[in-house]
Chain A
Amino acid sequence: MTAAASTAPTLQDALALGLTAEEYELVCEKQGAPPNVLELAMYSLLWSEHCAYKHSKKLLRTLPTEGRHVVMGPGENAGAVDVGNGLACAFKVESHNHPSAVEPFQGAATGVGGILRDIFAIGARPIAVLDSLRFGEPAGESATRTRYLLDGAVSGIGHYGNSIGVPTIGGEVYFEGPYEHNCLVNAMALGLGERERLVRSAAAGTGNVLVLFGAATGRDGIGGASVLASAELDAGDTSSGGDSDKRPTVQVGDPFEEKKLLECSLQLLARDLIVSLQDLGAAGLTSSAAEMASKGEVGIEIDVAKVPLREAGMEPFEVMVSESQERMLCVVEPANVAAVLALCERWEVNGAAIGRVTDTGRVRVLAGDEQVGDMPVRALVDDCPLYDLAPQKPASPIYPPPPRTLHADATIRDTLLALLACPNIASRRPLFEQYDAIVQSRTVRRPEQADAAVLALADGSALAVSIDCNGRRVAADPYTGTVQTVLECAANLACAGAEPLGTTNNLNFGNPEKPHIAWQLTEAVRGLGDACRALQAPIVGGNVSLYNEGATGPIYPTPVIGMVGRMPDARAAGRLGFGRAGDEIALVGPFAPSLAASELAKLRGQALPDGLARVDVAAVHAAQVAVREAVRAGALSSAHDIAEGGLAIALAECCLAGGVGARVELGDLSGRAAEALFGEAPGGFVVSASADALSELERSAPVHRLGTVGGDSLQLSMAGGAEASGDAGGATGERVSVSLEELARAHARLAELFS
């Protein structure tokens, strides 16, 4: 036994690895003796929040996971839904928040690498990536750090996705104070595979061989799951230490290695050479092997001496917990081992038989002839204690009001331009232009062409995908805010013409051991479940990221939702931009705008409200169905969901995307101009179409005609706007006209962040 392993670890060591004293005691009991160094390292990882979901598992069990389209639900590497013709779409979102806060480029890059492996681990070819990002304010004191993180994360996502040949087709980003110290980097991937050939990760067949293939194993990323992913970040920024000493726990990505790994994995599956497949992510070999054994109810034996290493002298425990990227583990029948290794050689990836499946129900780790660890699979994977949360609504506000950035006597025109230029609304072009959105030739709608990304399938149908979450609204009301997030995703799909098939989610929250965070989490999961049930868009997979707190407090609760839908005819995919001069413009749906927790409220420096108005989910859903059917029928020239910045911003976005102006009559807005123009709520759509098409649409949803498409400016006419001046909405006249050029200039403001 090595020197390090011969010294028995103590309770102190266990605490340092993130276990509690009680958990350590339980480990000793399950082992029948105090664990050695290797065993303790493996327990500490598998019993971490990141691997064991010990504070969220009970809540997650309340979510709807079944539906007629579901092929594979939570618990596998990714979920999958049926998309017709024997094909399934696999998809999942995952976070890489803390690594990205410590080293944004590699953190984000390996986040993309990890989610892609989850997709091809079930036998689906990755066809798209989307990302969901959160940073602090890009101006003021946090500007330097925000720009550093933003630039690094965007470059990292592009570096990995572009190099591996998977298009990045969509995403979202918000800038809010509470994310300053703890940015969020969530990546979602979709894949396509034959439904009947998707593989599961359960190990099976006593005597079968474990083959590890892909990159060599090094010392990178050791302790990532426990030290980095399952604890709060310390104070400090990149320049002054802080978490920078944790940088060695961040993995380093190599998209070229993963590209080879991807092609190799898919060929191994296509040739029926492997029994099951699992990627190596957080906690490396430890979690992959233990989880494969647990799912297959078998035992596993691994000889660390057979693992191809990147550096000499690695301790057995280091080999077992390394988070080196671009590795996969598969179970192979002995007769096929030679063929598997030959295919690895063709793709120039390492392949090594490192162990076998046993019937012992134990994970045994050998170093050559010597046994260096022996643990019951059940204890490792299933016996980590699950904790009940102690939710309590906070008695006073958790988040300070944002600084005011819009002056008190701003006119409607000023307000429109300020909103259009604000970081949460301005065009994302400077980000998405750094991503290849078209490789693989499926992309029917590129970013900013439609509310959802649209991917063509071979049979003429198409998938639509959306990812979203307005954390400020969730912070104001975790239940209703989460319901609204789900509705927002479904609205985006409706505007593209797609019906939801399934949902994935990444629950980004603070420390769940604190009652107010537990309350946010509990309420959000309740909202998520209710909304997904109402839309029949079950949860097929997801991820939980807790302990997202910095020195100044928790992040906004951010349940990022990714939704995949389908439409029968790709050619009918909707567009968001006005397309045809002379078309009528209408507001469709049960839209009841309010300034509560709106973007305008933020610009005005207002604190979050305590709660949002309840949503009539059935009415909103009905409007979505009406819009979706009209888009599919080709009746609408454009459809755009009203979100941040309200109706006026939605109109401006339709003008900008279509390169054409609009004349809009808003009627008498006395006393409510700001709400009507800039208020936010679910259930509203701006559409353009012929007069006849709008009359037809009126039979299935509320339709309020607003004006016509044409000209080279956005003109808003209203009565009563004048009295709504100042903070109540701001107007000095009753007609506001802004040229397309001026709108475009305001909308392009994010470019400054990359200069």
Chain B
Amino acid sequence: MKFGVLQFPGSCDEVDALAAARLVGEAELIWHGERDLQGADAIIVPGGFSYGDYLRAGAIARFAPAMESVIDFAREGGPVLGICNGFQVLCEARLLPGALLVNANRRFTFRQLQLEVVNADTTFTRACTEGERLSIPAKHAWGRYYADERTLAAMRDKGQVVLRYAPGQSFNGSLHDIAGVCNEAGNVFGLMPHPEHAVDELTGESLDGLKIFESMRLAVDGAPA
């Protein structure tokens, strides 16, 4: 399978996401100004500070030509993963419900965190088991997940809350400790922590992040090779 990793001016973790995706499949960068998704089977919107995060995190990136194609791709059911700034972009693009506000501690914070898999029956978590703990780092200043109560209730009912910070782990003040959510159709997923930074023995504190990429490969390719 082939991943396409978007690259905006101001993207920071696109090379990291590219390398992580290449552990399970092929992957190429897609320049923000291009509309052609190069035949990618899945799209990753990476972390960083697209367009400097000016105006509002992710607010400008959603209008990039490449994002217009990604929105069409997602509407047709293509799998889209948004990591950190990518999650913010997907919320701004209305591909995901809710919004990300400034951290409760009001500081950029980098920490290795324990996450809990709430829903293991998704395109992005099928290599995990429900209730499993994942050790994955988070690093952001705007990661406090917010949605109104009605939306939250509907999301819970439909299994859209995919990952939660384990008790006592969240520094950002997200409602219900939500760390990652998917859309109703289940093909678009965003999370604040960085799975691409937990894929390698040498530089990761764990390999748990690989499960997200592996899940996507399973979803696209079918049964394990």
Binding site for B on A (CB under 8 A): 155, 158-159, 162-165, 254-257, 259-260, 263, 347-348, 432-444, 456, 570-571, 754
Contacts and interface: CB of A to CB of B under 8 A. Distances in A.
Contacts of A754: 107
Contacts of A347: 9
Contacts of B202: 444, 456, 570-571
Interface in B74-130: 107-111
Contact of A162 (B137, B139, B197, B203): B139
Nearest to B33: A346
B33 to A, nearest CB: 8
A158 B13 CA distance: 16
B52 A163 contact: yes
A157 to B, nearest CB: 11
A434 B110 contact: yes
Contacts of B68: none
Q: Which of B110, B139, B194 has the most CB of A within 10 A?
A: B110
Given A433-B110, A433-B111, A436-B139, A441 B12 contact: no
Contacts of A440: 15-16
Given A347-B9, A435-B108, A441-B203, 8 more contacts: A155-B107, A163-B12, A256-B51, A256-B54, A257-B52, A443-B203, A456-B203, A570-B202
A259 B110 contact: no
Contact of B9 (A348, A437, A438, A439): A348
A754 B11 CA distance: 29
Contacts of A443: 203
B52 A256 contact: yes
Contact of B110 (A163, A164, A437, A441): A437
B19 A441 contact: yes
B184 interface: no
18 contacts: A163-B12, A163-B52, A163-B53, A165-B12, A165-B49, A254-B52, A255-B49, A256-B49, A256-B54, A259-B12, A432-B110, A434-B108, A438-B137, A438-B197, A438-B203, A439-B16, A441-B196, A441-B200
Nearest to A165: B12
A163 B12 CA distance: 8
Given A256-B10, A260-B9, A456-B203, A438 B110 contact: yes
Contact of B10 (A159, A163, A435, A439): A163
B186 interface: no
Interface string B136-149: 01010100000000
A256 B9 contact: yes
B13 A165 contact: yes
B52 A444 contact: no
Nearest to A755: B105
Range of interface residues on B (Cβ < 8 Å):
20 to 34
A433 B171 CA distance: 11
A97 B13 CA distance: 31
A270 to B, nearest CB: 15
B190 interface: no
B4 interface: no
B58 interface: no
B180 interface: no
B195 interface: no
A437 B12 CA distance: 12
A432 B109 CA distance: 9
The 5 closest A-B pairs by CB, nearest first: A256-B52, A165-B12, A163-B49, A441-B16, A436-B139
Contacts of B13: 165, 439
A433 B109 contact: yes
A443 B13 CA distance: 14
A437 B197 CA distance: 11
Contacts of B108: 158-159, 162, 434-436
B90 to A, nearest CB: 20
A754 to B, nearest CB: 7
A434 B107 contact: yes
Contacts of A155: 107
Interface string B142-168: 000000000000000000000000000
Interface in B35-75: 47-49, 51-54
Nearest to A264: B9
Interface string B174-215: 000000000000000000001011001111000000000000
B53 A444 contact: no
A443 B197 CA distance: 10
Nearest to A449: B205
Nearest to A573: B202
B221 to A, nearest CB: 25
A256 B13 CA distance: 14
Nearest to A168: B110
A82 to B, nearest CB: 22
Q: Which of B9, B51, B197, B200 has the most CB of A within 10 A?
A: B9
Nearest to A154: B107
